[in-house]
Amino acid sequence: MDLRTAGQHLLQVLRGQGADRAEEAQPDRVGRAGGEQRVQGGGVGGARHRDVPAGAGHDGLGRDGRARQAAGLPAPRAHLRCRDTRAYDSRHTLQYYDDRHRPQGGPRPRRSDRRPGGEDPRVHGIGFLGLGVMGRPMALNLLRHRRGRPDLPPLTVWNRSPGKCAPLREEGALVADSPAEILRNCDVVFLMLADGPAVDAVLARGTDAFAERVRGRTLVHMGTTSPGYSQALEADVRAAGGRYVEAPVSGSRGPAEAGQLVAMLAGEQAAVDDVRPLLGPLCRDAFDCGQVPNALLTKLAVNLFLITMVTGLTEAYHFADRHGLDRDRFLAVLDAGPMASAVSRMKAPKLRGRDFAVQAGAVDVLKNNRLIAEAARAAGLASPLLDVCHALFTETVALGHGDGDMVAVLHAVEARTAAAQEQARALDGAPRGI
């Protein structure tokens, strides 16, 4: 077909789409945690990306793109196709985007490829243990996704402090009296607990009851523990007849509330594949990292970057502030430059307003810092930046700011400045020898 003939055919196809356009103008309904949202023209994820052509469907081509394809003409450029990262069904969005933007010859990260509604029908109950700063919004998103969906298994929750279960009970969650009750009645159990001892306690690990609790269950370990601990726990769970998936998440309370966390998955592939669709209401991305403890090692590497980045941002703000610079202008320059990020945009205003309300707690950052340092030492690695951060967060907690957000490390930086100035004054006033 020559170009002229193809063009004529394209015009005929476009003229014949009047009825199709009227139909496509009707809003589709896309399910989302907490209810449904209306989106125009077949978009996904609650809003259409600015680059998505009108009428884009799951193929991301749009009406004109499909017409061009039917006419034998080249499709629109890849960067103009649908790639809304908030969609649950990433078979046609996130995966599509990865295919076209990963380095040539590089591995393709595994992402979610099943809708949350595609949960395994053999699962009769979902359990969630641990309703802290992160666990509570995560469990709420799981619960809200199930609202009005009798085809999905119920959610049962438990927390050591029972009062934290009240908001979930009010929204329809079942509340267990004990971890044993959840492990007895739920096929898949999420663990969002503070540390290894807390996990061991709810599983009765080291006792005769452990095997009874985990046999036939899939345990999803989402907290941050040492990689060695996770590896040993996996071995124990599998020996007892259970399945184990390592699934730490990157993100603080804000992303947890918005269902925008990033999960890292490791474990037996069949178990990982069964767990992945359950994460849709919690995470915008889920990456397959291979075998345990690779997911936790990945999480620690991500946290190393986060800790050093936020500490550097804090020191930069302190530097600008103490030099008398206009703080708002400094933050505007920072936000306009290449170093700006979602983290800097979240943390810089907190520094400006001395807002230490917790998103990622300083005491938790110190715990993560220790875990990273231990993993580095075990591998014979140096961690010079991390070691400085470890000292600063240790001082932050010692100064009484462990319950504050990680930007409370500003107190430690300010204390060091005060000590340096005091030392300088003492030296200036000291008698000088000849």
The CA distances from residue 36 to 32, 72, 99, 283, in Å, are 5, 37, 29, 17
HSE-CB at 411 with a 13 A cutoff on CA atoms is 20
Q: Does the pLDDT value for residue 10 go beyond 60?
A: no
Q: Indicate the pLDDT class of residue 8, thresholds 50, 70 and 90.
A: low
Q: Indicate the pLDDT class of residue 19, thresholds 50, 70 and 90.
A: very low
pLDDT at 432: 58
d(CA 194, CA 363): 11
327 Cβ contact partners less than 8 Å away, ≥ 6 residues apart: 317, 320, 321, 352
Backbone angles phi, psi at 288, to 5 degrees: -85, 120
Least confident segment among 24-28, 107-111, 250-254: 24-28
| Mean pLDDT along residues 15-40 | 39
- Number of other CB atoms surrounding residue 8 within 10 Å: 12
CATH value of 299-426 in 1.10.1040.10, 1.20.120.420, 1.10.3720.10, 1.20.1260.10: 1.10.1040.10
Q: Indicate the pLDDT class of residue 428, thresholds 50, 70 and 90.
A: confident
Residues facing residue 36 across a β-bridge: 31
**What's the chain's average pLDDT?**
81
H-type alpha helices, 32-130 = 62-70, 94-101
Q: Does the pLDDT value for residue 32 go beyond 60?
A: no
Q: Are residues 82 and 60 in contact, defined by beta-carbon separation less than 8 angstroms? A: yes
Percent of the chain that is helix, strand, coil (3-state, to 5): 50, 10, 35
| Mean pLDDT along residues 196-206 | 98
Q: Indicate the pLDDT class of residue 66, thresholds 50, 70 and 90.
A: low
DSSP string, 270-322: HHHHHHGGGGTTTEEEEEE--STTHHHHHHHHHHHHHHHHHHHHHHHHHHHHH
Q: Indicate the pLDDT class of residue 151, thresholds 50, 70 and 90.
A: confident
pLDDT at 77: 41
Residue-wise pLDDT for 333-375, tens only, equals 999 999 999 999 999 999 999 999 999 999 999 999 999 999 9
- Number of other CB atoms surrounding residue 395 within 10 Å: 17
| Mean pLDDT along residues 64-85 | 46
Q: Does the pLDDT value for residue 33 go beyond 50?
A: no
Residue-wise pLDDT for 372-410, tens only, equals 999 999 999 999 999 999 999 999 999 999 999 999 999
**pTM, two decimal places:** 0.72
pLDDT at 288: 98
Q: Are residues 111 and 141 in contact, defined by beta-carbon separation less than 8 angstroms? A: no
Q: Does the pLDDT value for residue 305 go beyond 90?
A: yes
pLDDT at 37: 37
pLDDT at 177: 96
pLDDT at 87: 36
DSSP string, 79-95: GGS---TT-S-TTTTHH
Percent of the chain with pLDDT over 90: 68
pLDDT at 30: 33
Q: Does the pLDDT value for residue 147 go beyond 60?
A: yes
Best-predicted range by mean pLDDT (3-7, 59-63, 109-113, 219-223)? 219-223
Q: For residue 143, which of 282, 286, 283, 285 has the smallest C-alpha distance?
A: 282
Percent of the chain with pLDDT over 70: 71
Q: Does the pLDDT value for residue 7 go beyond 90?
A: no
> Which of the two residues, 60 and 321, has the higher pLDDT score?
321
pLDDT at 91: 32
Quick one: DSSP state of residue 400? T
Note if the bond before 293 is cis, omega within 30 degrees.
yes
- Number of other CB atoms surrounding residue 190 within 10 Å: 30
pLDDT at 119: 56
> Which of the two residues, 6 and 101, has the higher pLDDT score?
6
Calculate the dihedral angle through the C-alpha atoms of 264, 269, 270, 276, rounding to the nearest 10 degrees: 20
d(CA 367, CA 376): 14
pLDDT at 150: 87
Q: Which residues of 171-186 are buried (b: 16+ CB within 10 A; e: fewer)?
A: eebbebeebbebbeeb
> Which of the two residues, 229 and 69, has the higher pLDDT score?
229
Least confident segment among 69-78, 127-136, 331-340: 69-78
> Which of the two residues, 76 and 32, has the higher pLDDT score?
76
Q: Where are the beta strands (DSSP E) in 23-152?
A: 28-32, 35-39, 126-129
Query: Can you give the residue ranges of every domain in the chain?
Result: 3-101, 116-291, 299-426
Q: For residue 390, which of 407, 375, 370 has the smallest C-alpha distance?
A: 370
Q: Do domains 116-291 and 299-426 have the same CATH topology?
A: no
Q: Does the pLDDT value for residue 234 go beyond 60?
A: yes
Q: Does the pLDDT value for residue 197 go beyond 80?
A: yes
pLDDT at 148: 85
d(CA 327, CA 406): 20
| Mean pLDDT along residues 256-278 | 97
Kindly give the pairing relationship between strand 35-39 and strand 28-32: antiparallel
Q: Does the pLDDT value for residue 31 go beyond 80?
A: no
d(CA 284, CA 261): 6
Task: For the domain covering 116-291, report its CATH number.
Answer: 3.40.50.720
d(CA 395, CA 389): 10
| Mean pLDDT along residues 274-296 | 97
